[in-house]
Amino acid sequence: MTAAGVVVGCDRLPSAQEIAQALALRLAPQATSVRVAYAQDGWNILLEAEQIPDQRSCLDALGDLLTSSLLQPIDVYGRQLGGSQPGWGVRLRPKDVPAPEQVGQRSDRPYRTEPLLLAAGVAILFSVGAGLHWQSPSVWLEAAPAASPAQVRSVILNAAATLAPATPPLFRYVPPESFRGRVFNSVPLAAGQKLIALTFDDGPDPIYTTQVLDILAKENIKASFFAIASAVAAYPELAQQIVQEGHTLANHSWSHRYHNYTPSAAMREVDHTQQYIEQVTGVNIKLFRPPGGRLNNGLASRATQQGYGVVMWSVDPQDWLPGQTSEQIATSVIRQAHPGGIVLLHDGGGNRAATVAALPKMIQDLRTKGYEFVTLPELLQASDPSGELHHPEWLTIQETAQLEVLVAKLEARCQALRAELIASSPLEPAQRHQIAAALKEQQQALSWVQQRLAFEIIAENRYQAAFAMGQQALTAAKAQEWAVVTHQLQGAIAELERISERSFVYPLAQVKQREYKRLLDRTPNVTSSRR
């Protein structure tokens, strides 16, 4: 017995296992299931596949397994999987035995062939225990149990852990020209626009930032957070959460100190903070708020020189004062509120329980008065709609690329496991079962990632299409082609509304949608402009 042949001499009969093992290596392309049984008058072999196996191909493969002599007849049947009666049957006889009609014979084979009578009862020859049943990898794979959602998630997370991190930035924002390199405490708006921006300083804080985010999420409000880099270093996951939930995260210095800075120290304090926030969160927002609102200690000068918008405030409830109650804070904000206002609040730097408690009432009362809450970039854009509509370099681009790499990794793993399953011995069913289960698990993970990639590409394409229409609207606005502006903005809004909230780009799509709606509201009515 050798790996290439069944019989090497006449001194012994090969076992059913030996024949099955040889067939396992040679018949996989022609048959997915091979049953081998031995009877006193010779061998019986049943070949099965999704379609009836090709007779000539199977006999050629069997012939390759036989050496110079065929000791006994071999009855070979081909049948469709699940069928009751073979589609064909052939008896292989030694050449020195006279045979009636020869079917599909090759002259170089050490046997002759003759057709067999086909009977449904042929399955009795291959009953359990009568021989060895070999199945191809596809059969084992089909029989393997389906992986659970938890197992699929585990496969994906393990593979994703080997990916290179996404390249920042997720969102790069430069304020419009009218605010770039300047200090401002409120934003002028057109009549009828009641926009206001909530801003939070001195975080992130593990207690109060989380509570603020929960309230904002419940109220469906986006705000702006001026973060201290040292706090970001202490609680990077909170800084990332702020960004992931669609809020603006901006620069509030590294150390929040009030003393005077030399030019080189100011550069480190402002520039290093910006770089670190980008490194941790992937955002680069060129807005800066000096600690304590101090404009003469070197930090604000550095920021304006670098083109930052230096953001002060016009509504200050002084929530940082000891003893302030939530009622006092809310009442103060409501009393001072005005369109284009920037509200100064704190989510870090001390006990901010009163600020957190004041938020729901503050939001409810301002909404009752007709105010809409926006982020600082949205507020600036509303004030200066003729400014550049910035195209964010967002992380979805990198994440889509990461999904593509993940698909390639899982495909390679599936190919390796399939090769391992094909090479495994049919005599070790426990090993085959383990490999098949692992392959099925990997295939399910691959299928999920492929579907997710297709889903993200669709969302990304819709965002890009909406942005292109927004750019066309801007061009048309410069030419005062208001009908074109209206048409393009309406198309962009409709395209953004089609983006699923489960997509990577959804938070940015929401920002753009609000921006385009405000621009649309300010676009002159075509009919009235002709009068």
Catalytic residues: 201, 346
**Three-class SS of residue 203?**
strand
User: Which residues have CB under 8 Å from 150's CB, separation 6+?
Assistant: none
What distance in Å separates the CA atoms of residue 206 and residue 455, rounded to the nearest whole number?
34
CB contact burial 430-466 (16+ within 10 A = b; e otherwise): eebeebbbbbbbbbbbbebbbebbeebeebbebbeeb
Cα dihedral sign, 57-62-67-70: negative
Residues 93, 98, 102, 106, Cα dihedral to 10°: 60
The pair phi, psi for residue 488, each rounded to 5°, is -70, -40
Closest C-alpha among 75, 122, 72 to residue 97: 72
User: Which residues have CB under 8 Å from 233's CB, separation 6+?
Assistant: 276, 280
What distance in Å separates the CA atoms of residue 78 and residue 267, rounded to the nearest whole number?
81
Closest C-alpha among 269, 199, 277 to residue 239: 277
Closest C-alpha among 333, 378, 417 to residue 173: 378
What distance in Å separates the CA atoms of residue 397 and residue 508, rounded to the nearest whole number?
12
What distance in Å separates the CA atoms of residue 236 and residue 246, rounded to the nearest whole number?
16
What distance in Å separates the CA atoms of residue 490 and residue 493, rounded to the nearest whole number?
5
**Three-class SS of residue 131?**
strand
Region for 289 from its dihedrals, namely left if φ exceeds 0, alpha if ψ lies in -120 to 50, beta otherwise = beta
In the block, which residue shows the tokens 């889903």?
A: 455
Starting at the edge strand found earlier in the chain, the sheet holding 131-135 runs 111-115, 88-94, 74-80, 42-49, 33-39, 131-135
Question: In this structure, are residues 319 and 212 in contact, taking their beta carbons and an 8 Å threshold?
Answer: no
User: Which residues have CB under 8 Å from 162's CB, separation 6+?
Assistant: 409
Closest C-alpha among 389, 378, 377 to residue 468: 389
Q: Which tokens belong to 25?
A: 């290596």
